[in-house]
């Protein structure tokens, strides 16, 4: 019979919880040990480490400390897992907290140049749906999944990530380099920590998984991770009650949660596994709306301007163009703006409400990548979320 190992949440914030960390490095020590086949229960914290509550206002959102992103629960040593193996992690159950939030943080998000003011929707959650007084008339069905789940990177992966991300930062790209402020555990990654300059931020996903934000990784999904350190070092956190493809504001419906998983070790299975893979069945059907309205987008922009995702390129030729060939980012941006405009005009939402709904419910789909110069993206809005 499999055992059940539970990693309890303790303390009001992550720095008071010995089972939490918010930077990635191979030096992290396991907080628990399991055998393959055991049930492993993670009590997780929301992405911003309890900085928000039901009473949080828009003005308070702008004060959020992003150096505390993301408090993760773990890591856990899985017996028998060695570098070169694969770790198969099946999501067994996700129990939501009663509180969740979606926010617009100035300077963050896919449309950060268009939405510059702080905003928050505070959601009341149960096992069925989420509702918010800030977005009246909208009911978001539960479709919970771990926004972040992964294994520990090995020393080669840390060095590789630091090199390539450092080069990107030097070129002007948007990337978060190691930051010791509020880094956990502080003795390893804080201002006096031995590895403060090597501790990877948890924002981008990498070879070891991490902040993948893939909504199909719901209950019943099995995720395959390459094992990069002895024992794998499994961890999770940043759990989402629901999310649209893209998580466009930078937040989904963020919450505390209790996540139950079951692990198996596949000997030698990681040798050809460059990044995580995942498999399932009914999850794809469960994420499809019964009724929808969709807007499309093309790779177009205002001549003379560059959106923030492209600004670091700052090419005079590129800036001068209205139509950019084969650009999926611009097509996605166009589709998203068009579906927001639809919700404002036809559903009576404010721009901030519509952007919030897009983050938690709108799916962004690639139509085609071959009809040059114009790739096409669709933004699909489920209509069953509206109560009227």
- Chain centroid to CA 93: 19
Question: Looking only at Cα atoms, what is the longest distance across the chain?
Answer: 66
Residues 206 and 330: their CA atoms lie apart, in Å, by: 24
Phi and psi torsions of 95, nearest 5° = -105, 120
Which H or E run includes 201?
strand 200-201
Q: What is the pLDDT of residue 283?
A: 85
pLDDT at residue 371 in the model: 98
Neighbours of 35 (CB within 10 A): 14
Write phi, then psi, for 265 (nearest 5 degrees): -100, 130
User: pTM for the whole thing?
Assistant: 0.97
> Phi, psi (5° rounding) for residue 56?
-65, 135
pLDDT value, residue 191: 98
Instruction: Give me the pLDDT at residue 1, please.
Output: 82
Give the Å distances, CA to CA, from 45 to 69, 100, 355.
10, 11, 24
For residue 285, the model assigns a pLDDT of 84
- pLDDT per residue, tens digit, the chain (388 aa), is 899 999 999 999 999 999 999 999 999 999 999 999 999 999 999 999 999 999 999 999 999 999 999 999 999 999 999 999 999 999 999 999 999 999 999 999 999 999 999 999 999 999 999 999 999 999 999 999 999 999 999 999 999 999 999 999 999 999 999 999 999 999 999 999 999 999 999 999 999 999 999 999 999 999 999 999 999 999 999 999 999 999 999 999 999 999 999 999 999 999 999 999 999 998 888 889 999 999 999 999 999 999 999 999 999 999 999 999 999 999 999 999 999 999 999 999 999 999 999 999 999 999 999 999 999 999 999 999 998 7
CATH of 4-286, one of 2.102.10.10, 3.30.1490.20, 2.60.120.580, 1.25.40.10: 2.60.120.580
- Rounded CA-CA distance 388/385 in Å is 9
**Among 183, 141, 154, which residue's Cα sits nearest to residue 83?**
154
Please answer whether residues 294 and 383 qualify as being in contact, where contact means their C-beta atoms are separated by less than 8 angstroms: no
> Coil, strand, or helix at residue 158?
helix
Kindly list the distances between the CA atom of residue 288 and the CA atoms of 172, 291, 330, in Å, as whole numbers in the listed order: 38, 9, 25
CATH code: domain 292-385 is 3.10.28.20
- The reported pLDDT for the residue numbered 338 is 98
Q: Tell me the CA distances in angstroms from 221 to 4, 150, 152, 168, 339, one per residue in order.
A: 19, 14, 20, 33, 30
Q: What is the DSSP letter of 281?
A: S
DSSP state of 159: H
**Domain layout of the chain by residue ranges:** 4-286, 292-385
């Amino acid at each position: 019979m499999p055992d059940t190992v539970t990693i309890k949440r303790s303390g009001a914030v992550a720095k008071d919880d010995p089972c939490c960390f918010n930077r990635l490095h191979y030096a992290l020590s396991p907080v628990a040990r399991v055998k393959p086949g055991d049930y492993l229960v993670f009590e997780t914290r929301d992405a911003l480490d309890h900085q928000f509550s039901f009473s949080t206002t828009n003005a308070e959102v702008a004060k959020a400390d992003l150096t505390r992103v993301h408090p993760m629960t773990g890591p856990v040593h899985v017996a028998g897992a060695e570098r070169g193996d694969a770790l198969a992690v099946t999501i067994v159950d996700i129990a939501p907290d009663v509180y969740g939030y979606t926010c617009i943080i100035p300077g963050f998000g896919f449309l950060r140049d268009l939405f510059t003011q702080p905003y928050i929707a505070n959601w009341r959650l149960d096992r069925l749906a989420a509702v918010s007084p800030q977005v009246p008339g909208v009911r978001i069905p539960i479709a919970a999944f771990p926004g972040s789940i992964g294994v520990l990177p090995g020393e080669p992966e840390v060095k590789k990530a630091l090199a390539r991300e450092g080069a990107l930062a030097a070129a002007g790209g948007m990337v978060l380099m190691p930051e010791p402020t509020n880094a956990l555990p502080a003795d390893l990654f804080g201002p006096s920590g031995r590895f403060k300059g090597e501790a990877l931020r948890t924002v981008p996903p990498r070879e070891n998984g991490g902040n993948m934000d893939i909504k199909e990784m719901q209950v019943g999904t099995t995720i395959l991770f390459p094992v990069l350190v002895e024992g794998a070092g499994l961890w999770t956190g940043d759990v989402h009650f629901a999310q649209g493809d893209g998580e466009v504001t930078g937040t989904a419906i963020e919450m505390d949660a209790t996540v139950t998983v079951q692990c198996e070790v596949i000997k030698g299975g990681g040798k050809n596994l460059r990044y995580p893979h995942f498999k399932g069945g009914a999850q794809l059907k469960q994420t499809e709306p019964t009724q929808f309205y969709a807007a499309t987008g093309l790779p177009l922009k205002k001549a003379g301007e560059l959106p923030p995702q492209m600004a670091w390129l700052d090419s005079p030729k590129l800036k001068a163009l209205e139509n950019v060939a084969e650009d999926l980012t611009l097509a996605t941006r166009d589709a998203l703006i068009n579906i927001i405009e639809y919700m404002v005009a036809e559903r009576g939402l404010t721009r901030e409400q519509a952007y919030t709904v897009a983050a938690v419910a709108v799916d962004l789909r690639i139509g085609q990548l071959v009809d040059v110069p114009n790739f096409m993206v669709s933004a699909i809005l489920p209509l069953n979320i509206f109560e009227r």
